[in-house]
A and B are shown apart, each in its own frame.
Chain A
């Protein structure tokens, strides 16, 4: 049985990666299982300079999901290169550096540094709803996506994934803009902007007032968007948004994802990514499928 998938020329030993920001740099979950079990690890979103992040509370529970407003707290790209890459390289898994900026210049600068470091893939986050400047602002208009992706493409030779925001009217427009500007792969979806209010205090639960929604509740939205994007572009897709079981992963692959990322599900069950992988294997066995790639995009739409 073949579990390996190819994303922009990089072979992942299985189609399960972690979703940026839910997995830190892997140290904590490595206490639960060997990180080599995973196809890849998308690390916490990195910026040029260290970022403190937003004030707490940074999380609120929602029906079958959560809102977060972490705001890209991270030690900065240099420290990541010095301290975290050597750690992650001890494992037989691919490193996906998730990078963000608040200006085009920022994005170019961090992309250049990250592109010259020992990572396997770059994931350009143009979809973070939790930072005031940049983030999602870049990812919601095709023109600015084109401009940014072109400039970043020009300075990196590593495979470039562009991470899309679901907070748009037509995600295929954005996907096409990323494809025509030189993206090698797309990942989707980032979190959906949401809000929760404490009815006793009449205050939003998040100190940031709003935050990004993720977890099982967003799964059908993610599946829909992945299928729309799959039909609009030729690039390989990393699907994410509410994946918690092997069957979820299969569904997302049928919609068009070549690989899936597991994020919020780790909070419920630290073993979630490994269980998702095992669930994929079970499905393949039960259905006599030899190659996981045979699933990709195989949904049969109604006329």
Chain B
């Protein structure tokens, strides 16, 4: 079920040279939000397509979105002012992160702008550990939020300017060999998702991945946001990130 809601911006903060943290007054959408879901935002009258942004948190009638300026649309969002309104379509995605009723924690693996949706996901679990990867120290977002929401937090940067140097793989492997996890939940660039999937296989635990694809309608009608998956019988098809996803069980992905 999706609706459009005209939301007032109640806070907009710059987190890094390119990252922004936006809080929207969204009484209806915040009620509907599930971990892993996203919204799609109209970015002014001159752009045909809405921009998909993950739900980073949903609290007391508000939605929190954390985004990076990549092009015209996200730049438009970053230039809004508190009190401005945005036309927001949501909440989108039937494939969401599971909320596991398990005493073992989940392991969250995220990178770059894949980190935001994992925050809402972390808060929904009984217990979560997180390994987050970023380009460098300046690109790290939500460190304190994850620190508060997770029992364990490890950060890796590509250049080693903060935390472990390199990808999330070594720190994730370290945690996986020390602790028992109920599942791996991951969101980030494709190489990171593949690494999460192979770690899950290696340690024999279930894994869910959040995928990204360019979108048209955002609700499952136009079949634009295709991503290749296979079913139980191994038959390949194009699923749709906006409706079937954005979160998929890792075993269904075809890379």
Chain A, range 28-52, C-beta contacts under 8 Å to B: 28-29, 31-32, 44, 52
When C-beta atoms are compared, the residue in chain B nearest to A25 turns out to be B221
Question: Do the beta carbons of B89 and A59 come within 8 Å of each other?
Answer: no
Number of A residues with CB within 8 Å of any CB on chain B = 38
User: Would A58 and B237 be within 8 Å (CB), given that A22-B222, A66-B48 are in contact?
Assistant: no
Question: Do the beta carbons of B217 and A22 come within 8 Å of each other?
Answer: yes
Question: Do the beta carbons of B214 and A57 come within 8 Å of each other?
Answer: yes
Contact residues in A for B215 (Cβ distance below 8 Å): 59
User: Would A23 and B227 be within 8 Å (CB), given that A68-B216, A216-B48, A264-B48 are in contact?
Assistant: no
Task: Choose one: B89, B236, B237; the contact of A270 (CB below 8 Å).
Answer: B89
When C-beta atoms are compared, the residue in chain B nearest to A26 turns out to be B221
Contact residues in A for B76 (Cβ distance below 8 Å): none
Return the CB mask of A40-80 against B: 1 if under 8 Å, else 0.
00001000000011111111111111101010010000000
Tell yes or no: A21 within 8 A of B by CB.
yes
Tell yes or no: B220 within 8 A of A by CB.
yes
Max count, chain A CB within 10 A of own CB: residue among B50, B217, B228, B243: B217
Contact residues in A for B225 (Cβ distance below 8 Å): 56, 58-59
Tell yes or no: A259 within 8 A of B by CB.
no
Tell yes or no: A297 within 8 A of B by CB.
no
Tell yes or no: B10 within 8 A of A by CB.
no
Tell yes or no: B147 within 8 A of A by CB.
no
Task: Choose one: A63, A73, A267, A271; the contact of B238 (CB below 8 Å).
Answer: A73
Question: Do the beta carbons of A267 and B237 come within 8 Å of each other?
Answer: no
Question: Do the beta carbons of A22 and B49 come within 8 Å of each other?
Answer: no
Return the CB mask of B8-50 against A: 1 if under 8 Å, else 0.
0000000000000000000000000000000000100011111
Question: Do the beta carbons of A56 and B214 come within 8 Å of each other?
Answer: yes
Tell yes or no: A182 within 8 A of B by CB.
no
Return the CB mask of B198-241 against A: 1 if under 8 Å, else 0.
00000000000000011111111111111110000000111000
Return the CB mask of A253-280 against B: 1 if under 8 Å, else 0.
0000000000010111111000000000
Assembly CA distance A266 to B47 (angstroms): 13
Tell yes or no: A215 within 8 A of B by CB.
yes
Contact residues in B for A58 (Cβ distance below 8 Å): 214, 223-226
Return the CB mask of B80-95 against A: 1 if under 8 Å, else 0.
0000000101000000
Tell yes or no: B4 within 8 A of A by CB.
yes
Question: Do the beta carbons of B237 and A21 come within 8 Å of each other?
Answer: no
Assembly CA distance A69 to B39 (angstroms): 24
Tell yes or no: B100 within 8 A of A by CB.
no
Contact residues in A for B236 (Cβ distance below 8 Å): 52
B47 to chain A: closest CB distance in Å?
7
Question: Do the beta carbons of B213 and A267 come within 8 Å of each other?
Answer: no
Contact residues in B for A28 (Cβ distance below 8 Å): 2, 217, 219-221, 243
Contact residues in A for B3 (Cβ distance below 8 Å): 32
Contact residues in A for B47 (Cβ distance below 8 Å): 61
User: Would A24 and B49 be within 8 Å (CB), given that A56-B213, A60-B214, A266-B217 are in contact?
Assistant: no
Interchain residue pairs A-B with the least CB separation, the first 8: A24-B221, A28-B221, A28-B219, A59-B224, A57-B214, A56-B226, A58-B224, A73-B223
12 contacts between A and B (CB under 8 A): A23-B222, A32-B2, A32-B3, A58-B214, A58-B226, A59-B49, A59-B225, A73-B223, A267-B49, A267-B218, A268-B42, A270-B89
- Chain B: residues with CB nearer than 8 A to chain A? 1-4, 42, 46-50, 87, 89, 213-228, 236-238, 243
